[in-house]
Amino acid sequence: MKSDIRTLSLEEITTFFVEKGEKPFRAKQVYEWLWQKSARSFDEMTSLSKETRGLLDQHFVINAVVVDNFQVSSDRTIKDAFRLYDGNIVEGVLIPTSERMTACISSQVGCSLTCKFCATGRLSRLRNLDAAEIYDQVVLIKKQAEEKYNIPLSNIVYMGMGEPLLNYKEVMASVEKITSPTGLGMSPQRITVSTAGIAKMIKKLGDDGVKFNLALSLHAANDEKRNKLMPINEQNSLDALAEALNYFYDKTGTRVTFEYIVFKDFNDSISDAQELVDFWKRVPSKINIIEYNPIDGGEFQQTTEQRLKAFVAHLEKNKIIVNVRRSRGKDIDAACGQLANKNDPGMLQRKMKKI
């Protein structure tokens, strides 16, 4: 079985060419085609001879991700169902606003964390995506932004399906390919990785000196409520996360963003807001308040506009800068927490088979 050439480093491709009696500089040409020009087949590599392209085709494949189908929301948000080489589907979203054009991308097929408010959490984690599969989502959404809206892609958020820090190596490799001058050359400051909160991996991000932004899905600032929402909190308490996030800040100088979904009569009271204020004081941070996007059969509801305003006002009274993120793409199940592969009828069958 031929391997995907994009799993090889430049050095490994160079070794391949030398062993085949080819000029070593061919490797750099191939590498540029793969990561700068995003070639999806060897035939696209027109600066190589037909013989060289044939040699590559004889030994390797490019397992390019394809758009299986897409839906366009009334607010212009686009949800993509990406088909992988093995038939699995992941979803990604293009979110256009007046200020930016954002790609929301996935890092795993399904998810293992079972957060109670998230449709993806109901799916089993079937496998991790590799760096090239994550990179391809960015390339395809970037192309969509340019073709459909004539606006370049400005931001990338790892907030789609899966927990990025449980696919650490490939997520980090994908960021390198997206930001490197030998790749897409995007600024790491335009990238945000969102985590449900894995303390030891947050510290590793600090040790690795990452340049991208980090967001924590917080949603409750006391352990009892957060345990109910997010079982991962039982092994990664708020105390442990505060310590890890301060470590991350000390190493990188980057303030984390807390994402806080407000649920009706669960975490939307003034006392809940005060707990959030108290936690904010422990960690250099910003706060995004997010509208809840209901999922089929979910136990939570969106809070009222009145309670939302009172919650935000309490934060602002405490000198906290708060951004309220309104939902995008709700009518096509593209909003935060709604990605559940409804376009892939085989996903549920594969999930049950795995169980």
The one-character DSSP state at 101 is E
Q: Which of 104, 111, 115, 336 is catalytic?
A: 336
Distance between start and end Cα atoms, the chain = 29
Q: Which of 12, 22, 91, 275 is catalytic?
A: 91
Q: Are 76 and 20 in contact (CB under 8 A)?
A: no
Residue 332 is which amino acid? I
Q: Residues 293, 296, 299, 305: is their CA dihedral positive or negative? A: positive
271: number of Cβ within 10 Å:
10
Residue 254 is which amino acid? T
Q: Residues 182, 188, 189, 191: is their CA dihedral positive or negative? A: positive
Q: Where are the beta strands (DSSP E) in 39-184?
A: 60-61, 66-72, 78-83, 89-96, 101-104, 108-109, 127-128, 155-158
User: How many helices, marked H, and strands, marked E, lie in the chain?
Assistant: 11, 14
Beta bridge partners of 212: none
C-alpha distance from residue 330 to each of 76, 250, 293, 324 (Å): 11, 37, 7, 16
Whether residue 336 lies in the annotated active site: yes
Closest CA to 42 of 53, 58, 55: 53
Report how far Cα 315 is from the mean position of its chain's Cα atoms: 27
Closest CA to 273 of 224, 327, 219, 232: 219
State how far the Cα of 322 lies from the Cα of 280, in Å rounded to an integer: 11
Whether residue 91 lies in the annotated active site: yes
Q: Collapsing DSSP states into helix, strand and coil, what is residue 171?
A: helix
Which residues participate in catalysis according to the annotation?
91, 336
